[in-house]
Amino acid sequence: MPQFSFDVVSEVDQQEVDNAINQARKEIDQRYDFKGSNTKIDWDPKEKVITLHTSDDMKLRALTETLNQKMIKRGVSMKSLDYQKAEPATNSSLRQTVKIKTGLESEQAKVITKLVKELKMKVQAQIQGDAVRITGKSKDDLQTAIQTLKSQSLDFPIQFTNFR
């Protein structure tokens, strides 16, 4: 009997992040409360870091709210955004970095394998780098495993790929 499998990963669509940032930039350029405040959003796709620059704390909150709204509209999970502490920058302005989390860390992968083992079904989970491969003889068992993982309120985003 053939073996079926799928991978559990934690990834972010870079293009959607880029689109959300561009939409947030457009909104900031047009909003009255940001006029003349030297507010900007920098995006480094290689490092997966967003840097927010603005003049005061109130504008920083509005900027993060705008960015979050655009990310949600583009389907980017808020769990994958890691907001760092705001820090003072030049000319009495504020700077805040937002790291985009991708890949499963070993602790997160262990949580997923533990959940799969608790199902007591004929499926196996094995950690493969920053993903977890789940294999089984029945497609129904694998779909049950997917539904169980989706129903869990994990503190990190997960996606399912390579279903074969």
Mean pLDDT by 10 residues, the chain (164 residues): 82 92 93 86 93 90 93 92 90 90 88 87 87 88 87 86 84
- Structure-block tokens of residue 90: 């030049």
- Indicate whether 135 and 154 sit together in one domain: yes
Q: Which of 49, 73, 100 is the last residue of a domain?
A: 100
Q: Are residues 80 and 38 in the same domain?
A: yes
Which domain CATH number covers 157? 3.30.70.860
In this structure, the answer to whether residues 52 and 87 fall within a common structural domain is yes
**Domain boundary residue, one of 56, 84, 100:** 100
CA 160, CA 56: separation in Å to the nearest integer?
Answer: 41
* Res 1: pLDDT: 56
CA distance 73 to 75: 6
Which range of residues forms the domain containing residue 128? 4-11+104-161
Same domain, 78 and 22: yes
- pTM for the structure as a whole: 0.82
For the CA atoms of 112, 152, 14, 54, what is the dihedral angle to 10 degrees? -120
